[in-house]
Amino acid sequence: MSSVHPESLLAEVAALPSLPGVYRYFDAEDQVLYVGKARNLKKRVSSYFQKDHGGTRIGHMVSKIRRMQTTVVRSEAEALLLENNLIKTLSPKFNILFRDDKSYPYLKVSGTGSARSNSKPLKAAENETVKPDDYSRIAYYRGGVEKKHRYFGPYPSAWAVKETIQLLQKVFRLRTCEDTVFANRTRPCLLYQIKRCSGPCVGMVSVDQYAQDVAQAEAFLKGETQAVLKAMEARMMAHSDQLEFELAAEVRNQMTALSRVLHQQSVDNVTETDVDILAVKVQGGRACVNLAMVRGGRHLGDRPYFPSHVEDGHAIGGTALEDDAEVAVQSLEVKVLEAFIAQHYLSIPVPAVLITSEKINAKVIDAITSQSSIKVSAVHNPREQRRSWLEMAEKNAAIQLARLLAEEGSQQARTRALVEALDLAPDDIDALRMECFDISHTSGEATQASCVVFQNHKMQNSEYRRYKIEGITPGDDYAAMRQVLLRRYGKVAEAMQSGEANHKVRMPDVVLIDGGKGQVSMAKEVFESLGLDLALIVGVEKGEGRKVGLEELVFADGREKVYLGKDSAALMLVAQVRDEAHRFAITGMRAQRAKVRVGGGRLEEIAGIGPRKRAKLLQRFGGVRGVEDASVADLMSVDGISKELAEIIYQALH
C-alpha cells in the first residue's frame, strides 16, 4: 500500500508524535478526503499505511491519499470538538456528515418592558405617552441575537413557534403587532376584541400589569408552570377580596386555558423542562436521526436529519474516542448518533438532558459538556414519560427514512430514464450533472437569467446562480441567453483548452435550455464560439397549446426532436428541473424589479411624466437605472418625450 504514496508523506507519518490530535487526508487534487482524531496520532495514522486494506472502502480512500495535515491538541475532548468543526467546515468525502439546511427559529420577547410607578391603566386620551418599548412584543424570529431582547428556543419548526405564540396570546394576551403599528393605533384592533390581546397600544392595560403578564409568560416558557398557576391563583384571590370580580374572572379564564394546555401536553407531572430526544434508524445505506425537542416542559415536535457518506464513514472510522478494536465493533447506529451529537451541538445550545435510542460513549458527552456552560447527561433506557417520548421519536425516524428511500428510489429511476432517453454514458449515474437556464423579465424590465443545478439525483440549491442581464435591447431573450451562457461557460472553456480543467471546473453532462429552436440555436452559436460539445445542449420546446406533458426535446447537434411521452419518467425529471429554473428566475426578477421600482417614484415626481410616459421610459431603458444613464438624445427617442421634457428629466435625475 505504501508504494503508491510519496516518500515525504511516509516520512511525515513516521515522525508523528504519540499525542492526541486531529489529522486530515488530501488527494492529488488537494481535496479533503477524511478528517479523523486519535488519542495517539502516531499509532492511529500509521495503521492506515502499514496494513493492507485490500479493495475495501478504507483501502479505496487510503490509495487516494497524497498529503496530510495534523494538529496536536491537549486532550481527547479537544480532539473531538476540533474534528467535528473541521468536518462541518471542510465536508470531507469519507466522513459521516450532517448538514443544517436552515437555522432554527426562536420565539423573541422584545423590549425592556420597564415598569412605571403609576400602575393605573393609561387612558385612550393619553395615547401620546404610550411607548412600544414599555410593552414587550412576542414574535417569531430567525437570525442573530441582541442582548436587549429575550429569546426562547430553539424550536424544531416555524409551526411550533407560531403555535406557542397563539397559546401566549390566549393565556397571557401579549401583543404581536409591529412597533410602527403599535405607535399609530387610535383604537383597539380585532385581537383585543376576541380577547387575544390586552390592548396596550391604546392604554387598556397598565405597564405594571402588562409586565406581570410578560413575566408569567416567560416563566411558562421556562417550564415553571406550577409557579405560574400559583401566582395567577393569588392574583385571582386578591381581585376577589377587593370585590373586583370581573378582573378575577379574567384571571380564572387564564388559569383554565393554561391548565387545558398542560393537560393536552401531558407534562404537568414532568420535572425536567428542556430535553432533546434523539432516535436513529439505519436502512438501505441511508440513515435518519430524528430530533424531538421538549422546551419549558412542552413537547414542541421533531425534525429529521439525513447524513451523507454513511457507509464510508462507518467503514473508515468512528466518532467516539476509542481504540481501533473498539471502533470495529461499534454499531453503525451508534456512530451516526455520535456524529450527530458532536456536530449538531457545536452551534446549537445543548439542553441538560439528552435521551438517546443508542448508548453514547461518555467521552462524547464530556466533550459537549466542556464547551457548554451546563452539565449534560445522556439517558439510554428512559422510563415513564421519557420512554413514550423516545418511542415516538423512533417511530418518526423510521417513517422519515422510509419516505426518503421511496423518494430517492423514484428520483434515481427518473435519472436512469433520462440517461437512457438521451443515450448518455456518464461514468457514474449518481454524479450526472444537469444545468438548466431560463430568462425572466416584465416587458423587458429587470431581466434576469437563472441557472439551477441537478446532481446526485436532487436539486443542488447551494449551486444555483442568478445573472443580471445588462447591455441588451429590453425583451431580447436570445441576447439574454447568449450573455448568460458566455458568462457561465467562458472560463470553463478557457480552462479546458489550457488543460487546467478539474472536478471543480468542468462542463455538465446536460445543458438544459427552457426554449425551442430559437433558444437552442443561440446556445449552439455560443458553444461553437467557445469550442464546446454541441451534444450537451438540450432544449425543452413546449407542445401544442403549451400543454404540460406534450413537451419535445430539441438538440443542437442535428438530432431529430424527441417526444418522451406524457407519462415518461425522463420527462418528469426534465419538467422538474425546467420548472425549478423558471421559479428561481421569476423570483429573482421580481425582487430586482421591486428594487428598481423603489426608485421609480423619482420619475413620478417630475412634472409632465404620467403613468404612460413612465412605463414607456422604464420599458425602453430597462428600469430607473437605465433612464438615469440615458442622455438627453436617448430620452428624446422615446415616443412622447420632447426635447424640453427630456432635458427636465435629465436634470431631475442628475
Q: What is the pLDDT of residues 263-277, one digit of tens each?
A: 444 433 345 578 999
Please answer whether residues 112 and 68 qualify as being in contact, where contact means their C-beta atoms are separated by less than 8 angstroms: no
Q: Give Rg (Cα) of the chain.
A: 32
Q: What is the mean pLDDT of residues 588-613?
A: 65
What pLDDT score does 329 carry? 53
Same fold flag, 2-90 and 275-402: no
- Domain extent listing, the chain: 2-90, 106-224, 275-402, 429-593, 599-653
Q: What is the dihedral of CA 532, 536, 542, 543, to 10 degrees?
A: 130
Q: What is the pLDDT of residues 342-398, one digit of tens each?
A: 888 887 888 989 999 999 988 889 888 888 878 999 999 888 888 989 999 999 999
C-alpha–C-alpha distance, residues 155 and 305, integer Å = 15
* 111 contacts: CB under 8 Å, gap ≥ 6: 132, 133, 134, 135, 136, 137, 148, 149
- Residue for grid cell 432516535: 279
- Banded pLDDT at 447 (limits 50, 70, 90): confident
* 469 contacts: CB under 8 Å, gap ≥ 6: 439, 441, 447, 448, 449, 480, 483, 484
CATH number of 429-593: 3.30.420.340
Strands 458-459 and 445-455: antiparallel
Comparing C-alpha atoms, which of 265, 112, 124 is closest to residue 179?
112
Please answer whether residues 431 and 454 qualify as being in contact, where contact means their C-beta atoms are separated by less than 8 angstroms: no
C-alpha–C-alpha distance, residues 429 and 507, integer Å = 16
Please answer whether residues 283 and 405 qualify as being in contact, where contact means their C-beta atoms are separated by less than 8 angstroms: yes
Q: What is the pLDDT of residues 627-641, one digit of tens each?
A: 887 888 888 888 888
Q: What is the DSSP string of 239-264?
A: HHHTT-HHHHHHHHHHHHHHHHHHHH
259 pLDDT more than 90 = no
Q: What is the pLDDT of residues 536-546, one digit of tens each?
A: 999 998 877 66
Q: What is the pLDDT of residues 16-65, one digit of tens each?
A: 999 999 999 998 888 899 999 998 999 999 988 887 776 677 888 888 89
C-alpha–C-alpha distance, residues 626 and 252, integer Å = 64
What pLDDT score does 513 carry? 92
Q: Distance of alpha carbon 76 from its chain centroid, rounded?
A: 32
Q: What is the DSSP string of 529-597?
A: HHT--GGGEEEEE--GGG-TT--EEEESSSPPPB---TT-HHHHHHHHHHHHHHHHHHHHHHHHHHHHH
Query: In this structure, which amino acid lies at residue 209?
Result: Q
pTM for this prediction: 0.65
Range 2-90 classified under CATH 3.30.1330.10:
no
How does the average pLDDT of the chain come out, rounded? 82
CATH architecture of 599-653: Orthogonal Bundle (1.10)
Q: What is the mean pLDDT of residues 308-321?
A: 64
Judge residue 389's burial from the number of C-beta atoms within 10 Å of its C-beta, 0-12 exposed, 13-18 middle, 19 or more buried: buried
Comparing C-alpha atoms, which of 507, 508, 518 is closest to residue 556?
518
- Banded pLDDT at 159 (limits 50, 70, 90): confident
What pLDDT score does 266 carry? 42
Class in CATH terms, 275-402: alpha beta
Comparing C-alpha atoms, which of 278, 300, 299 is closest to residue 289?
278
- Identify the H or E element spanning 108: strand 106-109
The DSSP letter of residue 111 is S
C-alpha–C-alpha distance, residues 448 and 439, integer Å = 6
Q: 491-502 in b/e burial notation, b at 16+ Cβ within 10 A?
A: ebbeebeeeeee
Comparing C-alpha atoms, which of 293, 287, 296 is closest to residue 354?
293
The more confidently predicted of residues 503 and 476 is: 476
Strand 377-379's sheet: what is its strand order? 298-305, 286-295, 275-283, 353-356, 377-379
